[in-house]
Structure 1
Amino acid sequence: MSFKKLWSLFLALFLCFSLLAPSLARFFTATAPTVTIADPSDVVIIIDAGHGGIDGGTTGKSGVLEKDLNLAIAAHLASFCRLLGATVIETRTADISLASPDAKKGHVKQSDLENRVALAKKYENAIFVSIHMNAFPEEKYHGLQVWYSQNHQSSKVLADMLQNDVREQLQNDNHRKTKAATGSIYILRHLDCPAVLIECGFLSNPLECATLESEQAQKRLALVLAGALMRFKKI
């Protein structure tokens, strides 16, 4: 049986046990301690919760801030990846900015982005995954979409795996395609490792926003993303 089929079976069993045995679900989704030290030669999954601190990102219809949802999903994703044996680095585990303390006014956001890139570049074999949310003036738009860096040929492979797994296991009506990052996405433009940015959904869509605020939905999404990452890690 292929890894993907085994993972789909595991996902189905996990979701069943999550409903029937909350204590078991809590065990599987317990937040692991942040890993701050890793051998630079190891394959390291860097999970980046976008925004933070004074930079809230976009705002949902309910008033929820993107930075908080990014952090919640990133934490679940990190926890699942660790349970599956991966070495994980999280760019942030709290509501903070990564900007340097001496960053000048007007350059705080730029400093924050530069430091995220610098962290990733410390590791020879990094896989970089940035968690974000989407928004649009019209409420009708929905669905996860993955952007990929054009600096590493494997980035598109990873993006397609993530996008396809979410479509197959969570969002059958999601017909979005992965997209090459434009120059406006600073992090993906400056990283040379496999790197993607995941727009987990539209906070401008009230229904999707409510779903993304649900801890159960966050864990389901994180579990699917972790499965795709583990398969990519084995390539």
Structure 2
Amino acid sequence: MKRIYSLLLLMSFSLIAFANDSVKEERKVSDFQAIYMEGALKIIITQGPENRLSLEGANQKVLDAMTTTVTGGKLKLKFPDQNFGVRLPKATVYLQVKNLESIEVVGAVKVFSKTPLIANHLNVELTGSCEANLMVEVKHLEFQSTGVGSATFKGQAESLSVNMEGTGKLNAESLQCQTTDVELEGFCKATVCADKKISGHAEGFSKIRFTGNPEVNQLGKSDFSKIKQIN
């Protein structure tokens, strides 16, 4: 009996070790200023002296299923949820960028930044059930969301423009902004900061919350939406 228990314990340790044995691969990429990611991915972005792309997956089949191309200054990475009818485990993308102007993610992508993303203009667009958690230092940040995505922004921006449809959530309370414009439609929720001026409109059952003591400029809502200052 003890021998059987020992064998079972050894098999369990082997399975755990096998499960944690991921495969990594680095791919060469030409210069790009925009990224488009599609599928079930986790993306970790840092800003550095050169563009670099590394992939990590449970096995080689996962990495082989990922396609990467650069056209017109845009890095496109697509990862299907299934391969020949078999659901694939999620993969992780490690991305180092020199200059980044646009992030577009579709599907079930989760995107994070380990360092502040410094730029004049940064556009972030989520479609589906994506999630973004980014630190930024920009002059203008433009955020668009369609679906059930969620986003958190921290850092600084001279101006922020928000356009959301569906049931998405935005937490930008820790993003220090001078001027902010928020347009919501559906069941969206947005918490933003505005030190000088705020404008926008909430349609459907949406909610806008804002911090700061800005000048309110054409900030309106429909009958069932809400707008609240939360200083």
TM range (shorter): under 0.3
Give the number of the structure whose residues are more often strand, by fraction.
2
Q: TM-score, normalised by structure 1?
A: 0.23
Which structure carries more relative contact order (alpha carbon 8 Å, separation 6+)? 1
Give the number of the structure whose residues are more often helix, by fraction.
1
Which of the pair has more CA radius of gyration? 2
